[in-house]
A and B are shown apart, each in its own frame.
Chain A
Amino acid sequence: MEAGIRLVARTVLKQRFWVLALLVAITGFFALGLRHVELKTVFSDLLPSDHPYVQVYKDHPNFGNPLTVALLVKRKDGDIYNAETLQLIWDLTRDIDLSPGVDHDQVLSVATEKARYAEATPYGIDSRPLMGDAPPRTAEEIETFKRAVLKSPYAQQFLISEDESGALITATFIERLLDYGETHTYLQQLVEDARDENHEIHIAGQPMLTGWVYFYEVQMLFIFSITGLALLLALILYMRNFVGVVAPLLSSLIAAVWGFGFVGWLGVPIEPLIMVVPLLLVARSFSHCVQFIERYFEILTHVKDRRRAAEIALTVMTAPSVLGIVTDATGLFLIGIAPIPAMERFALFCGFWAMMLVPTNVLLTPLLLSLLPTPRNAAQLMGAGETGFYAALRRGLARLATLTFGKAGRWTAISLAIATVYAAWNVTQIQVGNPVEGSSLLKERSEFNRAVAQINQDFPGVNTLEVVFEAKSLEGESRVAREAETAFVQSRLQALVEKMPDPPEASLSFADYLPEANRLFAGGNPKWAPLDYDDRAVAAAASALLVGTSPKAFSHVADFELRHSTVSFWYKDNKQDTVDRAIEQVRSAIAQLGSEYPNFSVRLGTGTIALQQSLNDTVDTYQWYILAALNLVILVACSFAYRSIMAGLILLVPVNLSNLYLGVAMTQLGIGLDVNTLPIAAIGIGVGIDYGIYLLSRICEEYDPSTGVEQAIVRSVSTTGKAIFFTASIVLIGILPWYFLSELKFLADMGLLLVMVMLINMLVALIALPLLMWMLKPAFMSAGNHAMSESFNADDHRQPDTENSPIHRCEALGST
């Protein structure tokens, strides 16, 4: 293999202009794809497609439709029954109907025609909107309106708060027409314009949440630019030469063009929230380049010829670089195992980008190095002269290395074992799912989360669990929602769940509307309210309910064809405890009633509660699948590369330890494992294995049986360890501003999490791996036949002044 690599390296450098031309052409191709790049959230793509709850949601998207916003008008100094507040409710209702993407048939408030009261009069059914053709203005009109509300039990429960200080306006959006950014801008402006000294206005719902993420995109891009600058600055400060800055910068930029261009050509949208990962990929690209350049400088100092040094660097670095990149990319590709379309797209996008670091870093960097001017400070960078920051860093790392062998090594091993036991216990406490009320994407005191809390306080809330009554036949005149057995089982289900301890805040079904319709059409006497549970009576009540109205007015409880219907249960919040309880309650009630009937099946479920649980179930399950698959890939790839299963196993230890410690960090920081944080864990493993491969290769290279593994460890940690330290540090410096600057809690959390990823992986790589090598002293360490050796024969390339080279170590590296 090594001969092959050497041949490739020689050819690439010999034909460097052709290779460069090819890379430029490919870059041009992908650059054209940039026009089609789209940052966009597709809500249904954020859900795990194979989960039974998601299948229920996709079969019945109208039930518990998450694309609904709830706007609360709250009077600060009294109730809503005054001309000013009622006018405000009227205006906001009319204005919300102008929102981009709104479904005009699904706007509901006390000011819409759908909120009606009905009474039987000698002349017939008088079914009128609660408000007339204008909001009530005089005291008499307001009193009449108030009486009308009292005759409309569902308006009282769902549209006006119990203390009468708040009114709710809900609007559902059509997904194919919904542009979250545009809708959010419109609604937020509406809310801000409506706020005054007498009214609080709150607005919540999934479209607003995603809209907030879009809103913070500008801030996110600003923070990312700070990160980019910080990375660049760190690079400049570290390298302090032209080539050391330009080569990583160009390589990373080209990789980015390839990555974005690829998804542009595929025409798949990128979820804005995962844009943190591409930034990390830039950092990873820097990291690989720096590793490469450091090695190049070492060799250059030795051979004094740019092209030759680049060729040698390419020869010796190809295997570890490619292995590191491939394992990185594999980690990202494996995220696609989770059957969540947005994750699948993410895996494809980021995995491809990461994989393209092979041509853009491994191939392009040596080409650039061979063409760009020779740096003057290469020797200094290599820590020559035992002075300055680099030398101090080297000494510090060397001292750190001494903790991994001998007597200190034993203590380190014991400490590590204790820490691991603690971590293993602690990590069982990690919360899968949402640890807060509202959304963990935004800060607890964010406008959105305050809105959620206020609406949950004043109304049944925004979190529902839907139990769908699904018709078995969709043909013919059978309309199961208006059959007696459906109505009966729905009412029984509601009664059972509402009698349980900690019952839901409210429940609603199509069956709930029928008795009132029956009463009114039968003449108005309350004695006509109870329904006979036969098909004729229930169908008659349903007909009465739907006369002169579109079935869309009831689309929250029955589908347009009146075949499928739902029972909605409202819960106070969407914290994981509440979600668990809700599902348990409803599941046990369904178990009592049975789920299969001649004309329908009872399916659990959809709504925000069920959909959140579907994500949690998926994340909980697939995190192990991804971890196991990643371990397997790493084991196979590394064992093959080092021609030793022991090498594969040794590399897996720090990687998994880091993952374990990351879990502890998340627990301590109160960050839950969810669909957004799952990729970070996989990336963490990619980072860890990268460090491990570079360090292990260097230890193998440095190992000389005559001086022992200890010397090899010291040399490796103080050289390759320095590059690891640098790459971890610059990412850390670049990402830390996220925590302090971002209004988006998700980004702040990600910042903190990524800092943890880099720190933990760095420390574990620098300590655990050398420790293992010292303890196990594996045979492959001294075997020269694996593909990962970075060594080269200095004698082959010695120049006249080589004796003065500070890289004395190179002379000893004659193993190949």
Chain B
Amino acid sequence: MHIKRYTTDWTRRAFLQKTAVGVAGAGLLKPLWSSMAHADDMTKAYPEELLSIEAYTKGAFSAGDMITADNVDQVAELLDPLTVMQIRDMGRKIELVDSTRDITRLFPHEYLEATLRNKGKAGLDANGNVIVAETGQPWIGGNPFPEPTSPEQTFANLVMSWGRHDDSVYAIRDWDIAPNGKLSYQYDFIWAEQNTVGRVASDAPYIQGEEDKLRYQAVWFTSPADAKGTAFLNTWKYDQREFPDLVGYLPAFKRVRRFPTNQRFEPLVPGITIFLSDAWAAGDPMLTWGNYKIVETKPMLGAVSGNWTGDVDKNWERGVHGGPDGQTFFDTKMELCPEVIVVEAEPVGYPRAPVSKKRVYIDARNMMFIGYVTFDRRGEMWKTFEPSFSQYATNDAQLLDGDHPAWSWTHVHSHDVQSNRMSRFLQAKQMSGGHKSVYNMGSDIYSRYLTPQAIRRFGT
């Protein structure tokens, strides 16, 4: 007989108490990161009811079950309302998998090591930027605040390293689905990013001479023909009060042009519902948003494991379903995340912002977001941005990002629920033009992807 030590009521009370006192650090029974230091698994930090969907739902669901319109009401409290709407009204289905108990499967190896190594070293300076508290230097890698004590610290974990590799090139295939379920636009593009500080797989945490920056990041469109060669390059300042520089290249005009960078609530190219502001739920410099607050801490379902399809599709692509034409949603697996911190922020630095706030759901275990919702100025939900992550390893296949199995995002749903347009995109192994997804490729990434000359070269 299974004897419950902690009931769901106990869990709920414990979360309420944590939220009330402003403690955002992971772990309910004991702090997760001290368990990690003692090489324990998560069972020391969370009761069984938060690590098993079967236990949590009293046997109503178990790993392998599918959440559908018929049963979504039973787990509605574990999903954001827009996901519930997608399942209930649009035919979306989500497969449940076991909760991850081994925290190494929720990080790239070097990033996790840096997080453990640098735990307790970070602080926020007078302006609110992340620094090494002792030296005042830029951040040196890993999650700066694995045990945050404020909403700003919680959010800073998303800001300092988007993809959690020093250098990443993602081959991305995007489909934009119209309200009638038909394909409206389709793009192939490359997303390249290089952290200039906080590097974890390199000899030094900074690229020399680039300490005043946070990252370089570029988007290159390779398909369709009318977009091929179009590229944009962002240069992010370390100071999170400043906007990145944005330049673009349109092959038909053969000129690199600077673009206004403070207009961040528009898509880069027609048809996509993703704004500059949406990237990684932290697409804007952190300090151009304000009034951060933790509104809730609770268990939720999140797509954080089992989503890599490298063993069943040679290009890592995946099945689709739902919507009026059966292609609005990717097949997705979710697990019960024992502790999710819900942070809200307001666009205080954008007097003309069409959004009133964003709500970001952050998995307390790895401090990565599992969902993100924006609200319009009337306070009504506008867009949901739902990423899926996975360690790139299965029983039959794996991908290394050096000496260890890679961890990265696999696919994303970005749904403008007001106009009912869905952009869904995935990280593919390779795409048109022969570009491949690759992590920690080293300094070559800069010259190949991240300079004005590179984007010009690409377009010609």
Contact = CB atoms under 8 A, between A and B. Distances in A.
| Physical interaction between A and B | yes
Contacts of A218: none
A560 B271 contact: yes
A548 B230 CA distance: 12
B352 interface: yes
B258 A543 contact: no
A521 B419 CA distance: 31
Interface size range on A against B? 35 or more
Nearest to A522: B253
A544 B253 contact: yes
Interface stretch (A122-130, A199-207, A707-715): A122-130
29 contacts: A94-B377, A97-B354, A104-B376, A113-B266, A123-B258, A124-B258, A125-B257, A125-B258, A127-B259, A127-B260, A133-B352, A482-B226, A521-B253, A539-B252, A540-B250, A543-B250, A543-B252, A547-B230, A547-B248, A547-B250, A548-B248, A548-B263, A549-B266, A549-B267, A552-B419, A560-B184, A560-B270, A560-B271, A561-B185
Given A125-B258, A544-B250, A547-B268, A105 B227 contact: no
B256 interface: yes
A100 interface: yes
A523 interface: yes
B20 interface: no
A240 interface: no
A548 B226 contact: no
A136 to B, nearest CB: 13
Contacts of B350: 133
B120 interface: no
A22 interface: no
Given A547-B269, A561-B185, A540 B260 contact: no
B82 to A, nearest CB: 16
B223 to A, nearest CB: 9
A543 B230 contact: yes
A477 interface: yes
B92 to A, nearest CB: 20
A547 B259 contact: yes
A477 B270 CA distance: 13
B178 interface: yes
Contacts of B182: 474
Interface string B48-75: 0000000000000000000000000000
A522 B269 CA distance: 19
Contact of A98 (B224, B378, B419): B378
A24 interface: no
A479 interface: yes
A548 B266 contact: yes
Nearest to B182: A474
A134 interface: yes
Contacts of B395: none
Given A97-B377, A540-B252, A104 B271 contact: no
B351 A561 contact: no
A177 B262 CA distance: 30
B252 A113 contact: no
B383 to A, nearest CB: 11
Contacts of B117: none
Contact of A550 (B226, B256, B258, B270): B270
A543 B227 contact: yes
B57 to A, nearest CB: 34
B172 interface: no
B127 interface: no
Contacts of B419: 103, 105, 174, 552
B227 to A, nearest CB: 7
Nearest to A540: B252
Contacts of A129: 263, 352
A546 interface: yes
Nearest to B184: A561
B247 interface: yes
A127 B261 CA distance: 10
Contacts of B377: 94, 97-98, 104
Interface in A491-542: 521-523, 536-537, 539-540
Contacts of A521: 250, 252-253, 255, 257
Contacts of A52: none
A126 B225 contact: no
Interface in B340-367: 350-352, 354
A183 to B, nearest CB: 12
B267 A126 contact: no
Q: Which 8 A-B pairs give the minimum distances between C-beta atoms?
A: A540-B252, A124-B258, A124-B257, A521-B253, A125-B257, A551-B270, A133-B351, A477-B224
Contacts of A683: none
Interface string B237-251: 000000000011010
Contact of A560 (B178, B256, B259): B178
Contact of A104 (B262, B418, B421): B418
Contacts of A112: 352
Of the candidates B267, B270, B352, the one having the most CB atoms from chain A within 10 angstroms of its own CB is B270
A562 interface: yes
Contacts of B418: 103-104, 174, 177
Interface string B367-380: 00000000011100
Nearest to B226: A539
B188 to A, nearest CB: 12
Interface string A90-134: 000010011010011100000011000000010111111100011
A560 B416 CA distance: 14
Contacts of B378: 98, 100
Given A129-B352, A521-B250, A543-B227, 11 more contacts: A100-B378, A103-B419, A112-B352, A113-B352, A133-B262, A477-B224, A539-B226, A548-B267, A550-B266, A560-B421, A561-B184
A223 B332 CA distance: 59
Contacts of B271: 551, 560-561
Contacts of A523: 255
